[in-house]
Chains A and B, each alone.
Chain A
């Protein structure tokens, strides 16, 4: 499990998850992600799952937890590139509407941000 976290101007965080996200992996990365997110005043978190090969319900806990802690009530959570199986897991969990069928760049544009240093 590795991940990459970047900030876009105007308080948008992008979290690119990699490898396998299970209970074991969430224990390893939750703290790190939370600490990093404290650095910025957020109005949106984009979860990019393009390079995530596996996710179980631990991923739901991770995303819901970060929504609760960091995204203000008028803010956004966006989930990009889930696999078919992950999409089902999001639907069952009531997160289906957060899945956007688009790219990272288009999401940033739609949210009105500018991606730093890219």
Chain B
């Protein structure tokens, strides 16, 4: 399948060069090992926030580096977690002595490589706190698995931690807020078509024309089930039901933040249509969508689908959400 690449091997490195070339006032790209840091890091007396993960989910994470969000991001190969080296180097570059929060999506590879980096840093007196994101209700959480996958809530955790760090919160406080976001978020995604793997030029899975993958992962992992295709409102209702049913009793009340992300090929028209139904569906359940974010912020190459995330807000989280942010992909108040 034709794509806008030069060669499968250079996709990640060329895209990073493009990001650095078009955001010189914001980003600094380091090589060997690869990471992307705020140009003005380390920021004195402030906790740093570092995330990372496999590439192919852009703008996450590099697009979220900048004042009010990430201090640095470590992009791995396509769909492959970054190496411990990358994480270690990024933290060393941005840590100002106040410690660093590591935002980690719950995949074995990510967890282990960040953990190794944290060990190496600790041995050297650099303090880190890890916030693990595991919000995907499509995967059952049990001690017999590696737990749930981290998806959309990652973006929300990064925003809130970045805002808390910017206002001067301590390492423990920033981490606690990140964990609070992670704990109060639930997500589910569905795909009508898989993404195209650059190395092979083929889709990572094939779906018949009348079926969808419900509960899909952002690396094209299979989800809860293959289901018949339905009008999008029905799919949104189904996703919302799964998300809402998963919150602990009593948690899902009051004001929520709705995050709708296209997974790569969903058009803005489609994202808006999904958001329309999701807002109405939450409304019908007596919840107020006090904040929302709609667009393609966490993707899976060119997958056709969306992922929905609901975060139960409190005053503090709403305030941190509203705080200024200036990154390539998310910007307000600055």
Asked whether A and B interact, the reply is: no
Residues on A facing B (Cβ under 8 Å): none
